[in-house]
Structure 1
Amino acid sequence: MQPSEPGASGEIHFPNGNRARWVRAAPEAEPRELLHELGLSGPPRSLILLLGGADALDAGLNARLQQLFSRGIARAAAETGALVLDGGTQSGVMALMGQGVADRGHRSTLVGVAPAGRVTAPESAAEGDAEPRVPLEPNHSHFVLVDSDAWGGETQTLYKLASTLAGDAPVVVVLVNGGALSKQEVLRAVRRGWAVVVVQGSGRLADEVAALMRKRPRSIEDPVLAEIVSDGDLCLFPLEGSPRELKRLISRELREDSILKLAWQRFATYDANAMRQQRIFKRIQFWSLFLGLLGTLAVLVKNALPRLASSPALDLGSQALIVTLAAAVTALVSASSRFKFGAKWIVLRAHAEAIKREIYRYRCSLGGTVEHRPGRLTCEHRLASRMKSISRQLMRTEANLSALRSYTGRIPPPSVVSRGDDGFSALTPSQYIRFRLDEQLNYYRRRIDALDRQASRLQWSVIGISAVGTVLGAVGQELWISLTMALVMALTAWLGFQQAENRLMKYHQAATDLDNLKAWWSALSIEAMGLRRNFDALVENTELVLQGELTGWVHEMKDVVSRLPTQQEKAEPEDKTKTMH
């Protein structure tokens, strides 16, 4: 290896038989070019960033960490296809990471970033250095050697690479032990919004962060630690914890949470099928009203033009058209009643939203403050139990009369999560307000404006057509009054189907309740915001407001759908069959 100039690259042959690609880089080097030089231009599925101490660890701590690294972190990386990024030297936690990857059969890409002036490889020799160089870890697959003679000179390049590799992929940072340099590195991760798993009991920085998380002092003198503890998406993992649980924790943070993926998949299935049933139902209602109007118009035209009766061919054609339109309306109404598209749409929408509520409750139970945070397995069992109950309720409704089509798109569906929300990460109070409460509040406000305009247009149309009918009666055109009456009845039926006024009232109430909840939270002190019970109250009351609005909509729509066939029958002119003979 001759890493003498930035841009140089090659391959290192380690005594253990491993080969690793390397590139030397200037601190300002473009990260994409470095990754291309290393053959890592394709984005990884996910990224694990390891931070921590490079100093020698005592024998007892080292033995315990070996299990967590090999059977926990390295196994999670292998099973999730994550790329692992660390300091790359044969010391401290980096040596443990390399050995863990080797124990898993080198199934993971392990990239080390180190200052070129402070490391050495088997093929190179360093003489005359004021400080001894540290050998590169022999189980890494790639190295980026930054043009620097000081520890910490590689940090900027490390985070440039991490940000580029992450892209839209999930990132989890693992902090084990660590010192002053690790503190600055963790701060950079927190500012990027990356989840940080802190191994409590591993010593130094990790224990200091863990202690502050548990005590939650009113003020922290160290500004870096204050920002990390206050703003970080931090999760503690005890040193004595099971390696299997550490693997599951990291897998969850990398969006490999099986129960949450299953919940989103079930929501997406219910949601997609609800929208499909809604489209079919609305089309049937539209064509039923439209064809009914055409039928009425055909009858009026036939009666208004006596010459049609004098021509057998025209008379037969007009009768056939009227019969066909009447039959089409009858078929549409019968299909809607037989296949229950409206009822299926309503129950599927209700149960999809019920799943969504449980997803947000689950994510909030994993986030927020450490105080009284439920265990992850407890949260999983609760979510699984609620999903089971919701699906059983759905199977006892009209939705069980036909098969649900599978959803094959992205999980979660992009249209149902806010920008910046991956749908899987634990939620802090500020994230819950932004991604859930504010999103629903903005939805209600948009719908209030749209429904108000729609209801006004329909009501003015009804008034205008009624006025036209009055004018027609005054000028002796009673025959055409039937058409205006049919139009009024059709618009009135559509207005009733939309339930605009009732929905406006419920949207106003829900928006007001959400505004009040947001105001209540904003008025709390910083200490009160840090209490778990207040966060739980915020989540529970927000979800109850949303549930109450949806429950009212479901009851009203079920009533509307049950009355529609009767209304459509009344909308048909009584003399239609008489005029056909």
Structure 2
Amino acid sequence: MADEVELKERLTENDQLSSSAKNNNTDPGQNQNINGTERNFKFGEFTYNKGKTTHKFVKVTNKDGDKLDVRKLVQAIKTEWQLERPNLVISVTGGAWDFPMNRHVKEVFRKGIVEAADSTDAVVITGGTNVGVMKYTGTAMKYYKIATGKGEKIVTLGIATWDKLRGDIKEKLTDTIGKSEPAQLDLQPAKEEEENGTLEPNHSHFILVDDGKNKWGADVPVRAELEKQIKGKF
């Protein structure tokens, strides 16, 4: 009899949970983080200047005590973005500031990175902001799309620090998280006196890391571990 009472109590609790979920039009596990605690992978999309190209992003919370499991981040983006495992990871690093590059070097860089990525089904990973080598990488992808008409064949992933994005960008991205309509961002040229950055407009995907410290570099440990995970088992 005691077992029957306990079973009925459990069934009642489950019915209440299911009813609550239906009333809120949510799945019982929807608001639960893939890590099993507070949700810290938040997905959304945006376009620049009301363009047709949609960029996908995920805001990753990695504050003290979160114990971010990058393996689960890889699984989350694989599922949400429907990405296949790449054959190669091309990791582009360099100065996060604008610097001159002569025409010949630009052509060599552009041709080299595009041919390598296209011929091997690689994912190209950069710091994601619209300056320096990240900007040159994005420009290379832009010319690739124009020349080949292959659209988004090459996944170009920018991994950046959330706190170091311009305030209006963070506000608009936050507003669109979990919604079907993408955020509309204005592609304005960066001002020299601005410390905070913008996202390079020719990258296809972004991981934006928020560690709550308002300093550059929140993306570095996540990027390093992510590259290891992609190279190993995606």
| TM-score when normalising by structure 1 | 0.26
Q: Which runs of 4+ in 1 moved over 6 A?
A: none
Structure 2 vs 1, CA of residues 32 and 120 (structure 1 numbering), >3 Å: closer, same or farther? farther
Q: How many residues align?
A: 160
1:109 deviation in Å? 0.4
Matches within 5 A, 1:412-561: none
Matches within 5 A, 1:12-161: 12-15=46-49, 16-27=51-62, 28-38=67-77, 39=81, 42-58=84-100, 61-105=101-145, 106-120=152-166, 124=170, 132-148=195-211, 149-161=214-226
Work out the CA distance in 2 between the residues paired with 1:23 and 1:168. Answer: 20
1:133 deviation in Å? 1.5
Work out the CA distance in 2 between the residues paired with 1:111 and 1:62. Answer: 25
Secondary structure of 1:156's partner? helix
CA shift digits 1:399-424 (9 cap, x unpaired): xxxxxxxxxxxxxxxxxxxxxxxxxx
Work out the CA distance in 1 between the residues paired with 2:125 and 2:161. Answer: 15
1:64 deviation in Å? 3.7
**Which amino acid counterpart does residue 97 of structure 1 have in structure 2?**
T
**Which amino acid counterpart does residue 45 of structure 1 have in structure 2?**
N
1:82 deviation in Å? 0.6
- What is residue 243 of structure 1 aligned with on the other side? none
1:40 deviation in Å? 5.4
Asked whether the equivalents of residues 117 and 154 of structure 2 are also in contact (C-alpha less than 8 Å), the reply is yes
Work out the CA distance in 2 between the residues paired with 1:40 and 1:52. Answer: 29
**Which amino acid counterpart does residue 98 of structure 1 have in structure 2?**
G
Asked whether the equivalents of residues 48 and 84 of structure 1 are also in contact (C-alpha less than 8 Å), the reply is yes
Q: 105-114 vs 80-89, which deviates more?
A: 105-114
Work out the CA distance in 2 between the residues paired with 1:36 and 1:62. Answer: 40
Greater relative contact order, per chain length (Cα 8 Å cut-off, separation 6+): 2
Asked whether the equivalents of residues 6 and 147 of structure 1 are also in contact (C-alpha less than 8 Å), the reply is no
- What is residue 9 of structure 2 aligned with on the other side? none
Structure 2 vs 1, CA of residues 144 and 103 (structure 1 numbering), >3 Å: closer, same or farther? same
**Which amino acid counterpart does residue 52 of structure 2 have in structure 1?**
G
Structure 1 residue runs without a partner (length 5+): 170-581
**Which amino acid counterpart does residue 154 of structure 2 have in structure 1?**
S
RMSD over equivalenced CA pairs, Å: 2.7
1:95 deviation in Å? 0.6
**Which is strand-richer, 1 or 2?**
2
Asked whether the equivalents of residues 88 and 113 of structure 1 are also in contact (C-alpha less than 8 Å), the reply is yes
Structure 2 vs 1, CA of residues 64 and 121 (structure 1 numbering), >3 Å: closer, same or farther? farther
Work out the CA distance in 2 between the residues paired with 1:62 and 1:121. Answer: 33
Work out the CA distance in 2 between the residues paired with 1:63 and 1:9. Answer: 38
Structure 2 vs 1, CA of residues 98 and 78 (structure 1 numbering), >3 Å: closer, same or farther? same
**Which amino acid counterpart does residue 90 of structure 2 have in structure 1?**
I
CA shift digits 1:283-320 (9 cap, x unpaired): xxxxxxxxxxxxxxxxxxxxxxxxxxxxxxxxxxxxxx
Secondary structure of 2:124's partner? strand
**Which amino acid counterpart does residue 125 of structure 2 have in structure 1?**
L
1:19 deviation in Å? 1.3
| TM-score when normalising by structure 2 | 0.61
Matches within 5 A, 1:229-244: none
Matches within 5 A, 1:96-495: 96-105=136-145, 106-120=152-166, 124=170, 132-148=195-211, 149-167=214-232
Asked whether the equivalents of residues 78 and 104 of structure 1 are also in contact (C-alpha less than 8 Å), the reply is no
Work out the CA distance in 1 between the residues paired with 2:125 and 2:106. Answer: 18
1:33 deviation in Å? 2.9
Work out the CA distance in 2 between the residues paired with 1:150 and 1:17. Answer: 33
- What is residue 7 of structure 2 aligned with on the other side? none
Work out the CA distance in 2 between the residues paired with 1:121 and 1:14. Answer: 16
Structure 2 vs 1, CA of residues 10 and 101 (structure 1 numbering), >3 Å: closer, same or farther? same
- What is residue 334 of structure 1 aligned with on the other side? none
CA shift digits 1:14-47 (9 cap, x unpaired): 2353211111113342223323433256321111
Work out the CA distance in 1 between the residues paired with 2:44 and 2:86. Answer: 22
CA shift digits 1:158-200 (9 cap, x unpaired): 011100111179xxxxxxxxxxxxxxxxxxxxxxxxxxxxxxx
Asked whether the equivalents of residues 128 and 160 of structure 2 are also in contact (C-alpha less than 8 Å), the reply is yes
Work out the CA distance in 2 between the residues paired with 1:13 and 1:163. Answer: 30
1:75 deviation in Å? 2.0
CA shift digits 1:42-99 (9 cap, x unpaired): 32111101111111112xx253442123211122101211111110010000011111
**Which amino acid counterpart does residue 13 of structure 1 have in structure 2?**
T
Asked whether the equivalents of residues 162 and 170 of structure 2 are also in contact (C-alpha less than 8 Å), the reply is no
Work out the CA distance in 1 between the residues paired with 2:168 and 2:106. Answer: 24
Asked whether the equivalents of residues 126 and 158 of structure 2 are also in contact (C-alpha less than 8 Å), the reply is yes
**Which amino acid counterpart does residue 68 of structure 2 have in structure 1?**
A
**Which amino acid counterpart does residue 140 of structure 1 have in structure 2?**
H
CA shift digits 1:292-351 (9 cap, x unpaired): xxxxxxxxxxxxxxxxxxxxxxxxxxxxxxxxxxxxxxxxxxxxxxxxxxxxxxxxxxxx
Work out the CA distance in 1 between the residues paired with 2:168 and 2:123. Answer: 25
Secondary structure of 1:17's partner? coil
- What is residue 7 of structure 1 aligned with on the other side? 41
Work out the CA distance in 2 between the residues paired with 1:87 and 1:113. Answer: 5
Structure 2 residue runs without a partner (length 5+): 1-38, 146-151, 173-192
Work out the CA distance in 1 between the residues paired with 2:221 and 2:197. Answer: 20
Secondary structure of 2:41's partner? coil
Asked whether the equivalents of residues 74 and 229 of structure 2 are also in contact (C-alpha less than 8 Å), the reply is no
